Amino acid sequence: MSVEKFQVDQEELETSILLHIRGELDLAAALTFRHALEAVVHRTDKALILDVGKLTYIDSTGIGIVVSALKIRDELKVPFAVRHIPSSIKRLFDLTGISGFLNEGIEGTA
């Protein structure tokens, strides 16, 4: 069984910043993910979207980082969404109670 290396790719669109997350987001990848988010989470000029369609695993550390980003964006009153959530990861988001706070898409964004 091969494990896909964790990777974050940033795409800047007209109205949003899109972070494509792939691989396994666990303690070993947490620092990489945190750095990628820190670079954009405080920007108020664009919506922030995490595309997790190719995320194969997330642990409590990764969920904690997503929750931190959610809180920051909420305090700044700027849009934040997580989209293309795989069913296995959606179940974890449901169990932790954060699914209701993750807008699955932002109107008018690609």
Element housing 70 (H / E):
helix 60-76
pLDDT of 93 > 50? The answer is: yes
- The pLDDT confidence band at residue 30, using thresholds 50, 70 and 90, is very high
pLDDT of 108 > 90? The answer is: no
Under 8 Å between Cβ of 32 and 6:
yes
Mean pLDDT on 80-102: 92
Of the candidates 59, 37, 33, 57, which has an alpha carbon nearest to the alpha carbon of residue 48?
37
Q: What is the pTM of this model?
A: 0.88
Mean pLDDT on 55-77: 96
User: Given phi > 0 = left and psi -120 to 50 = alpha, else beta, which region is 59?
Assistant: beta
Of the candidates 15, 80, 11, which has an alpha carbon nearest to the alpha carbon of residue 42?
80
